[in-house]
Amino acid sequence: MNTDWLAAPCPSPDAASADAARARQAQLTKPPGSLGALEEVAVQLAALQRAPRPAVERVWISVFAGDHGVAEEGVSAFPQAVTGEMVRNFASGGAAISVLARELGATLEVVNLGTVNDPGEIPGVRRAVVAPCTANFCRAPAMTEAQFAAALEAGAASARAARAAGAQLFVGGEMGIANTTAAAALACALLDAAPAALTGAGTGLDAAGVVHKAAVIARALALHAEAREPREQLRRLGGFEIAALAGAYIAAAQAGLPVLVDGFITTAAALAAARINPGVRGWLLFAHRSHERGHAALLRALDAAPLLDLGLRLGEASGAAAAVPLLRLACALHGGMATFAQAGVSGAADDARGHAA
């Protein structure tokens, strides 16, 4: 399977739509800028959707699940069997993202890319099984070329399905025991950072567990030190669900579909995607700052200002789902507020405007 499609261009966000949306925001009955990030995100969505009145009513959420060979190093507070068990829980409606998707009226797609405790063919799960588990990247690249290409393609298929279904926003989520180790290792490679700076507690390691996890990551980075290209760093240090996320983000951007990024693992995938294809960056919106150590550095590297900071560290796309109502409110304000002229409200005084920020 060939991965040349990764480099195909992404359309540019529409500058004329952004200008029109900014001009409209300046006429709405509020001091200019007073709705802060809600204004900015409405302008960004207008540019991405090429629409004077952007909307995020039709939301598509894909949760990608995969297991990690590095789990055998004892880097998670939970056993590997949980990945497959949670796939079943997503599908049967009991997981956090199941509830959030229902509340939002969003489409929830669950994609099993390979779980050691495989739930098999079950309703509500798309099987895109690459292998039961990645290789332990302390010993070998996480994925072979063929596995990597298949995982990227599985993610792209989700973004294309979202586009075909008329989604206005693509949200990627993930589930994979030990994937904060993979995401931190990938982040260290992409940012040339030390493991201690980007390694966190994941599902709940204690301080000694975090020190051990950082040492595991240091071993992996030493083994794969010659990999300097983002594509190769993602193949060697990522995971099936992380590669699928990167593939989904790239394909969504190429298809002109806005993306809302979730937490630590998804942001590592987003940084890899943006390094592989820089045109991706303009299609990304950022939902929240995860509690996981290392997320802030990833957000900084992407020059991202997320909407929420709620101390979440679940994954599954839960932080992104929590931000969707804010995006909807931003669009409703943009489309529904009266202008100064329509409401007969006086604008800022001419001499005061000169001093306004």
Ligand X SMILES: Cc1cc2nc[nH]c2cc1C
Site string for ligand X, 21-60 (x = CB under 6 A): ----------------------------------------
With binding defined as CB under 6 A, does residue 265 bind ligand NCN?
A: yes
| Minimum CB distance to ligand NCN smaller for 28 or for 299 | 299
Quote the CA–CA distance of 24 and 1 in Å, as a whole number: 47
CB of residue 120 vs ligand X: minimum separation in angstroms?
20
Of the pair 175, 321, the CB lying nearest ligand X is at 175
C-alpha pair distances (Å), 321 with each of 75, 112, 314: 27, 20, 12
Q: How far is the CB of 90 from ligand X (least distance, A)?
A: 9
Closest CB to ligand X among 10 and 261?
Answer: 261
The kind and range of the H/E element at 186 are helix 179-191
Contacting residue, 168, 179, 199, 254, with ligand NCN by CB under 6 A: 179
Site for ligand NCN (CB under 6 A): which residue of 174, 237, 246, 274?
A: 174
* 164, 255 Cβ separation under 8 angstroms: no
Footprint of ligand X on residues 274-333 (CB under 6 A)? 314-316
Q: Which two tokens stand for residue 350?
A: 């001419």
CA distance 272 to 138: 20
Is residue 44 near ligand NCN by the rule CB under 6 A?
Answer: no
Judged by beta carbon, residue 153 or residue 262, the one nearer ligand NCN is 262
Three-class SS of residue 62?
strand
Which one of 70, 95, 169, 175 is in contact with ligand NCN (CB under 6 A)?
175
Greatest Cα pair distance in the chain: 70
| Beta-strand pair 169-175/125-127 | unpaired
Residue 262 CB, nearest approach to ligand NCN (Å) = 6
- Report CA dihedral (265, 140, 135, 270) to the nearest 10 degrees: 20
What distance in Å separates the CA atoms of residue 271 and residue 278, rounded to the nearest whole number? 9
Q: Does 86 bind ligand X (CB under 6 A)?
A: yes
Please give the structure tokens belonging to residue 217.
Answer: 């990551």
Query: Nearest distance from residue 343's CB to ligand NCN, in Å?
Result: 42
Q: Name which of ligand X, ligand NCN, none residue 180 binds, using a CB cut-off of 5 to 8 Å depending on partner kind.
A: ligand NCN
| 108 phi and psi angles, rounded to 5 deg | -115, 120
The SS3 call for residue 345 is coil
Q: Is 180 in the site for ligand NCN (CB under 6 A)?
A: yes
Neighbours of 96 (CB within 10 A): 18
Residue ranges in contact with ligand NCN by CB under 6 A: 76-78, 174-181, 202-203, 262-265, 290, 292, 295, 313-316
Residue ranges in contact with ligand X by CB under 6 A: 78, 82, 86, 175, 203, 314-316
| Residues assigned a catalytic role | 316
